[in-house]
Structure 1
Amino acid sequence: MVFEYTPAIIANLESSHSPERLGPYYALAGNDKVLGLQLYAWNSALSQALYTPLQGLEVTLRNGLGDQLKAAFGPTWFDLNPGPALQYPLPDMLLKVRTELGRHGSVADHGRVVAELNWGFWTGLLAKRYEQLWRSHFRKVFRSEGPLTRAQIFQPLDDLRRLRNRIAHHEPILNRNIAADYASIIQLISYISPDTARWIDEHSQVAAVITAKP
């Protein structure tokens, strides 16, 4: 059944979503409000389709890096005493997670801490300032046929972090090259776990949603 965009329905959608939120989509549609609303819905569908692959990347990444931290610095690596030499803001992020866990009556163990730390923490571990950690520990997480540098992992991860944040804040992503974004997600996962990458790709709806562009 095709949704009917009557003037009254368009007015109601503008009231519920606000003209400011819909404005960028109207602009992309040349002020064709029907097309603009269809683009808004398509943007939502793209965001939904990307959620599972992005989630898969985040979980795979944090478990891989977390395992290396545990192997290198022990099961309480997050105490940083002893532990990896981290710089602001990463120690503050660890302290916040440990504090929140304690506030809720949970023990700050390896599994809980890894699960609570956000994408920014794990991407931050791969920044240039941690080149030595990359060479001694984190390089082991990623496998490829040829040489693989820290920057080859960090740069796409940081870009995908921004994409994930836009999705989380319900912002437009349809002006991005979503096919390239998705390929980057799958490539990064495949460096850590090729089977996981194939599994996520097998269940992905991204290609179908891209094809359904209004």
Structure 2
Amino acid sequence: MNQSTTLPQLLEQRLSPPRFGPYLAAAGTHDAALRLYQWNVAASGATYEALHLVEVVVRNALHGELEAWHAKRNRGGDSWLTTPPPDLTTEACRDISTARDRAQKAISASCRRTGITTVPTPTADDIVAQLNFGFWRYLVAKRYTHNIWVHALRHAFPNQQNLQAVEKPLMRLHLLRNRIAHLEPIHTEDLAARRRDMIQVVGFVDRKVQSWFATVERVQEAVKSRP
């Protein structure tokens, strides 16, 4: 780089022209593209933060109903994560197995660090924490309409009993979450609409939590600050 190279031009090379290109195409100049890129990073952070809250609320609601259904069918005993419902797809069962293995490795590593010699097995909560958003999103899918949804999962959304009405916003939020996780641009996304999806989904679970969520999420602030 020669001394006449501007900071935006330098950053284009450091970030890579293929990555910087979409911002330059959208903004028109290197200066404007850099401002858009910086906004995209900030907006991604605010959106991921909000998605974190949505995911935790949704997964805990689904997990709670599946535990209750499993206990009722099996008269107590183990968790649905230990003995998955036969209605689950092979892929879902594999995800649970992988999550259990990851949880066990995390517990074993913690025990080694602290000198504990008796390594406990993962609890249901340990396994839940290792299951990603995609797992929960695909539990709320059309294939489960006449089994898991009607028997258990619909109770996780007391304010919306139509599966499709729950699945569609979750699907959009899952796609957005993946874009952010893979550091892809979201400046072409309708973040105001995705914010409405988040508020709506949380409201399907609990209206009081929805009111709280709407006061702490920062997506609206990010949308307003777009250059």
Same fold, TM exceeding 0.5? yes
**Equivalences for residues 37-116 of structure 1 within 5 A:** 37-74=34-71, 75-80=78-83, 83-104=85-106, 105=108, 107-116=121-130
Rounded to whole Å, the distance in 2 between the matches of 1:103 and 1:202 is 37
**Identity rate of aligned residues, in percent?**
33
Aligned to 1:3: none
Identify the range of structure 1 (152-161 vs 11-20) with the bigger mean alpha-carbon deviation: 11-20
Once the two structures are TM-superposed, the CA of residue 84 in structure 1 deviates from its matched residue by: 4.6
Q: Per chain length, whose mean CA-contact separation is higher, i.e. which structure has more relative contact order (CA < 8 Å, sep 6+)?
A: 1
Task: Return closer, same or farther for 1:190/1:115 CA change in 2, 3 Å cut-off.
Answer: same
> Residue 141 of structure 2 aligns to which amino acid in structure 1?
A
Aligned to 2:114: none
Aligned to 2:112: none
Rounded to whole Å, the distance in 1 between the matches of 2:222 and 2:143 is 38
Rounded to whole Å, the distance in 2 between the matches of 1:192 and 1:53 is 16
Once the two structures are TM-superposed, the CA of residue 13 in structure 1 deviates from its matched residue by: 0.9
Rounded to whole Å, the distance in 2 between the matches of 1:84 and 1:54 is 30
| Matching residue within 133, 145, 153 for 1:138 | 153
| Matching residue within 192, 197, 221 for 1:179 | 192
- Per-residue CA deviations over 1:89-109 (Å, capped at 9, x if unaligned) read 101101111122223425222
Is the contact between residue 102 and residue 130 of structure 2 (CA under 8 Å) also seen in structure 1?
Answer: no
Is the contact between residue 9 and residue 30 of structure 2 (CA under 8 Å) also seen in structure 1?
Answer: no
- Per-residue CA deviations over 1:169-213 (Å, capped at 9, x if unaligned) read 111111111101001101100111222222121122222221122
Rounded to whole Å, the distance in 1 between the matches of 2:70 and 2:82 is 10
> Residue 179 of structure 1 aligns to which amino acid in structure 2?
A
> Residue 54 of structure 1 aligns to which amino acid in structure 2?
L
| Matching residue within 25, 28, 31 for 1:27 | 25
Rounded to whole Å, the distance in 2 between the matches of 1:197 and 1:152 is 17
- Per-residue CA deviations over 1:131-168 (Å, capped at 9, x if unaligned) read 12111111111122xx6311111111011101001111
> Residue 67 of structure 1 aligns to which amino acid in structure 2?
G
Rounded to whole Å, the distance in 1 between the matches of 2:161 and 2:100 is 33
Is the contact between residue 53 and residue 186 of structure 1 (CA under 8 Å) also seen in structure 2?
Answer: no
Is the contact between residue 50 and residue 218 of structure 2 (CA under 8 Å) also seen in structure 1?
Answer: no
Aligned to 2:111: none
Is the contact between residue 70 and residue 80 of structure 2 (CA under 8 Å) also seen in structure 1?
Answer: yes
Moved beyond 6 Å, runs of 4+: none
The number of aligned residues is: 205
Rounded to whole Å, the distance in 1 between the matches of 2:104 and 2:39 is 41
> Residue 115 of structure 1 aligns to which amino acid in structure 2?
A
Are residue 169 (structure 1) and residue 182 (structure 2) matched?
A: yes
For structure 2, the 5+ residue unaligned runs are: 72-77, 109-119
- Per-residue CA deviations over 1:113-132 (Å, capped at 9, x if unaligned) read 11111111111111111112
Rounded to whole Å, the distance in 2 between the matches of 1:35 and 1:88 is 48
Rounded to whole Å, the distance in 2 between the matches of 1:88 and 1:156 is 25
Rounded to whole Å, the distance in 2 between the matches of 1:193 and 1:207 is 21
Is the contact between residue 69 and residue 151 of structure 2 (CA under 8 Å) also seen in structure 1?
Answer: no
TM-score, normalised relative to structure 2: 0.84
> Residue 9 of structure 1 aligns to which amino acid in structure 2?
L
